[in-house]
Chains A and B, each alone.
Chain A
Amino acid sequence: MTKIRYNIIQLDVTEAGQVVEIRHRLPSNYGRCNGYVARHIKGISSELDIPEIGLLAVEFNSRKQLFINDLIGYEAQVEQLPEYRELNIPLESGQLVTGYYLDTQKSPYPFVDVKEWFRPYSIAIYLRCEIQNNEQHVRSSSIHSTTTEAAKD
């Protein structure tokens, strides 16, 4: 049975114009990558959407396949569910996901340099991957009531 797992690559941008290198190893049991979403997750605060804050390029299977070239924007308000873009990349076991993210923000104020205005932020790349797993499900026999408890750690 095919199972889906979501692998998250988080990138921290600390300087204006920074190039952040991506070098990420996917678990070896991932067989295929079939979708992705890349988005700003925290750090930028604006009342308006920003269509472009950076550029993203991602390669799979240790630079053998360049499959993602994308603009990353900023969403001021919660609107649609983030939609995964289709991919169809067979993954070679143990190979790297590589690439880079380039910050391209411009200062909205004409007389303020972007370096003074810039605040650190993070983006995340969600990769939707298939796992070929022949194991049977393990059913839990315990009864779980609908409860919540604060974690100790």
Chain B
Amino acid sequence: MKNHKFQQIRIRINAPGDSVRFAAETDKLYAKVRGVFASVPSDQVLVGATMGLKINGQDVFDDAHEVRMLTCGNQVAPNNKFFRFEEHIEAAGSAVEGRYTDPRPVNLALYPYDVKLYLWLVNETHPEKNP
């Protein structure tokens, strides 16, 4: 079985200032969420955009957490794009919940757009369960 999977969650933003809740479930075949990467179609919607995230009932980011802290430019190598979690975050069918808040940029031509949230799932064992 493969040890890595990049699971995508799409969030549709229809209008400036939208605050959208999203919910998903991680793939049951993978044990841990190693990292997260957020992709938006334009830098203009990035300034001031925020995203809260909760995985398996565990608060990962508050609603005021900037999306900019979870993304980077195209010049960054794929292996370095993800924000990596230091702690163990269980996947294996965990509930993923969150809220994306759009920052009300000036350019209305950008709407609607999709935010793509990628979860990096791996099959590493929990160090405290299997030292």
Which residues of A come within 8 Å of B, CB atoms?
A: 1-6, 8, 10, 37, 39, 41-42, 77-82, 124, 126, 128, 137-140, 142-151, 153
**Provided the pairs A4-B87, A139-B94, A140-B94 are in contact, do residues A146 and B20 lie with their beta carbons within 8 angstroms?**
no
Query: In whole Å, how far is B69's beta carbon from the nearest beta carbon of chain A?
Result: 5
**Provided the pairs A139-B94, A147-B22, A150-B18 are in contact, do residues A79 and B73 lie with their beta carbons within 8 angstroms?**
yes
Decide if A144 touches B96 in the complex (CB within 8 Å): yes
Decide if A6 touches B62 in the complex (CB within 8 Å): yes
Contacts of A77 in B (CB 8 A): 43, 73
**Provided the pairs A42-B47, A80-B73, A139-B94 are in contact, do residues A148 and B56 lie with their beta carbons within 8 angstroms?**
no
Contacts of A148 in B (CB 8 A): 10-12, 20-23
Contacts of B59 in A (CB 8 A): 5
Report the interface size for chain B: residues with CB under 8 A from the other chain: 49
Smallest CB-CB A-B distances: 4 pairs? A140-B95, A146-B24, A144-B23, A148-B22
CA distance in complex: A58, B59 (Å): 25
Question: By CB atoms of chain A within 10 A, which of B81, B95, B96 has the most?
Answer: B95
29 contacts between A and B (CB under 8 A): A4-B86, A6-B61, A6-B65, A8-B64, A8-B65, A10-B64, A41-B47, A42-B103, A77-B73, A78-B72, A79-B73, A81-B69, A81-B76, A128-B86, A137-B56, A137-B90, A139-B56, A139-B94, A140-B56, A140-B57, A140-B94, A140-B95, A144-B95, A146-B9, A146-B10, A146-B23, A148-B22, A149-B20, A151-B99
Which residues of B come within 8 Å of A, CB atoms?
A: 9-12, 14, 18-25, 43, 46-48, 56-59, 61-62, 64-66, 68-73, 75-76, 80-81, 83, 85-88, 90, 94-97, 99, 103, 128
